[in-house]
Amino acid sequence: MVLSTIGVMFCPDQEKSANELLRVCKPGAKIGLANWTPDSFTGNMLKTVGKHVPPPPGVKPPSLWGTEERLRELLGDEVSSLQTTRRTYNFRYPSVEHYVGWFREYYGPTVRAFAALDTEGQEALAGDLKELCESRNVSGDRTLVAPSDYLEAVAVRG
């Protein structure tokens, strides 16, 4: 089995990355993937970051890996079957501010985005992330519980 959980989706060359998954997977073996969906909380967080720090030209959104259509394009005829299931992960943080602070300090895409911005830009990004968290928060109190959908995919190498 070849497995990627919220990983390969962040490679800048999606086609090359998919080809590498297929290359290392022997015929009859499985490729297991879990990728954030475009409309998920995390998909929207990535879009929010992209509004402030656009990706390099030609780089496709990572969350495209969270659609069955894109996986079929990437894996093509090299797989004999592809089964997908939409699942949900709940982000849980003591507060919205804690989430924004943690992602500002420790999560690669947001760390790089904050580092690329001046003070005013950092404040704007933090504000937009806070707004997203508040709009998706289902906790009913000061904590943050933000459901985020991902696509679980299991492909069989042909």
User: What interhelical angle do 14-24 and 68-75 show, nearest 10?
Assistant: 60
pTM of the model: 0.94
Q: Which residues of the chain have pLDDT under 50?
A: none
Residue 1: per-residue pLDDT: 97
State the Cα–Cα distance between residues 30 and 100, nearest whole angstrom: 36
pLDDT of residue 157: 98
Sheet strand arrangement including 2-5: 2-5, 30-36, 144-157, 79-93
- Report the alpha-carbon distance of residue 57 to residue 10 in Å, rounded: 15
What does the pLDDT read at residue 14? Answer: 98
Q: What is the pLDDT of residue 54?
A: 95
Domains of the chain: 2-157 (3.40.50.150)
